[in-house]
Amino acid sequence: MHNETSSAPVKQARSRGSLAGGIAHEFNNLLQAIRGYTNYALEGLQAGSQRYRDLEQVIRAADRAAALTRELLGFSRRQVLERVSVDPHQLITE
């Protein structure tokens, strides 16, 4: 009975880690879509235009959110993960 009681906090911690990892994974997928569409929207815009600068802010915010997501994934997996940027347009054309 003692082992069951002492393992309950471990099971709870694993469950929280698993939940955090699942949420972080789904959130990261959304961020990648945001970055991809934002990069696509930047194409053809003049680099100094207001719209271009606004879209650059979206990318910076997505990068900050991705950093937080990596921390959450690291917590859930107890390791540091490396983010890799992918250009969805390039993947489609290949």
pLDDT band at residue 2, thresholds of 50, 70 and 90?
Answer: very low
Q: With 80 as the cut, is the pLDDT of residue 26 above it?
A: yes
Q: Are 70 and 27 in contact (CB under 8 A)?
A: no
Q: Say what percent of the chain tops pLDDT 70.
A: 80
- The helix/strand/coil state of 7 is helix
Helix spans in 1-94 (H): 2-42, 50-77, 88-93
Residue corresponding to tokens 């569409």: 37
Q: pLDDT of 30-73, one tens digit each?
A: 999 999 999 999 999 999 999 999 999 999 999 999 988 888 77
CA distance 30 to 33: 5
CA distance 83 to 4: 38
